Amino acid sequence: MKNHALMALALLALAALTLAAASAVYSQEDVTTVRDSAFGNRMRPPVPFLHDAHNEKAGIDECNVCHHVVEDGQLLADETSEDQECSECHLTARGAKPIELIAVYHLRCGGCHREQLAGPVMCAECHPRN
Ligand code: HEC
Ligand code: HEC
Ligand code: HEC
Ligand code: HEC
């Protein structure tokens, strides 16, 4: 009886550990590159991007500066799309509406860097050579 109870406890602990490990794998602090799954045949390697360190250094407080939700041209201030890839709304096809995927990254990432005169703006600064 006692042994069974102990065994059950041990199994529970193991399950909790496994869950914790699994959720850690998918959290934003582990993001080190931008690697949108919609780019099938990438011409360049994924872009280095230390998610949390970048956002802290850059002083970005709101997640929806990047993970936005837009309706009728209006940014919904209290909502985020952090559980979605940009490509779930922005398609890769040339000229896709509202804005094609490559341009979305270049506008958001490079746009802020140009505006703030901080962060990389040249192709090779964001796209390391193969
Ligand atoms: C400067 C832009 C930017 C900001 C600000 C930002 N993120 Fe992200 N985040 C990204 C990008 C880009 C990716 C996707 C990386 C990829 O597609 O490979 C991402 C990925 C994620 C993921 C998915 C992790 C995974 O791989 O499953 C989560 C969760 C996330 N971000 C949460 C947040 C939260 C919470 C905040 C605010 C505290 C935030 N992000 C702020 C750009 C940003
Ligand atoms: C839930 C859907 C959705 C997701 C996910 C999404 N977007 Fe958007 N985005 C839109 C819509 C809709 C518009 C068009 C807004 C308009 O018509 O003014 C837009 C417009 C834009 C624009 C141009 C206007 C502006 O805000 O500067 C950029 C840049 C952009 N998105 C970047 C991103 C990036 C980067 C990501 C991923 C981190 C992302 N979007 C994820 C829906 C989305
Ligand atoms: C709202 C403004 C803003 C946005 C959006 C933004 N950045 Fe930055 N980024 C900065 C600033 C500011 C710095 C300089 C930080 C410093 O070193 O003080 C920076 C620095 C960087 C650096 C240099 C290394 C580092 O982590 O500091 C890289 C690489 C970078 N950004 C990539 C990206 C990518 C990729 C995206 C889009 C997914 C992005 N940034 C979106 C503001 C932004
Ligand atoms: C501020 C950073 C930044 C700069 C500067 C930048 N890019 Fe990008 N670019 C990105 C990000 C982020 C993506 C999305 C990467 C991904 O998901 O794999 C991207 C995607 C791309 C893609 C589509 C994915 C692929 O590899 O086929 C191409 C092509 C590209 N960029 C070319 C360029 C060229 C050419 C320049 C210079 C004119 C440039 N980029 C400048 C950040 C940048």
In the predicted model, what is the mean pLDDT of residues 4-15? Answer: 76
Architecture in CATH of 31-126: Alpha-Beta Complex (3.90)
Q: What is the mean pLDDT of residues 66-88?
A: 96
- pLDDT tens digits, 48-58: 999 999 999 99
Q: Would you say the CB of residue 42 lies under 6 angstroms from ligand 1? A: no
For residue 70, report the distance from its CA to the centre of ligand 2, in Å.
7
Looking from the CA of residue 98, the nearest atom of ligand 2 is: 14
Task: Extract the tokens encoding 65.
Answer: 């500066």
**Residue range 78-124, pLDDT digits in tens:** 999 999 999 999 999 999 988 999 999 999 999 999 999 999 999 99
Cis peptide before 46 (omega within 30 of 0): no
- Report the distance separating Cα 83 and Cα 96, nearest Å: 22
Q: Which two tokens stand for residue 116?
A: 């703030």
Q: In the prediction, which pLDDT does 6 show?
A: 77
Q: Which residues, in sequence order, are bridge partners of residue 48?
A: 33
| Distance in Å, CA 101 to ligand 4 centroid | 10
Residue 4 binned pLDDT confidence (cut-offs 50, 70, 90): confident
Q: Which of 44, 90, 92 to mutate to test the pocket of ligand 4 (most atoms within 8 A of CB)?
A: 44
Per domain, the residue ranges of the chain are: 1-27, 31-126
Distance CA 73, CA 85 (A): 19
Residue 121 near residue 113, CB atoms below 8 Å? yes
The answer on pLDDT for 24 being more than 70 is: no
Q: Is 120 in the pocket of ligand 3 (CB under 6 A)?
A: yes
The H or E element spanning position 75 is: strand 74-75
The CA 52 to ligand 4 mean position distance, Å, reads 20
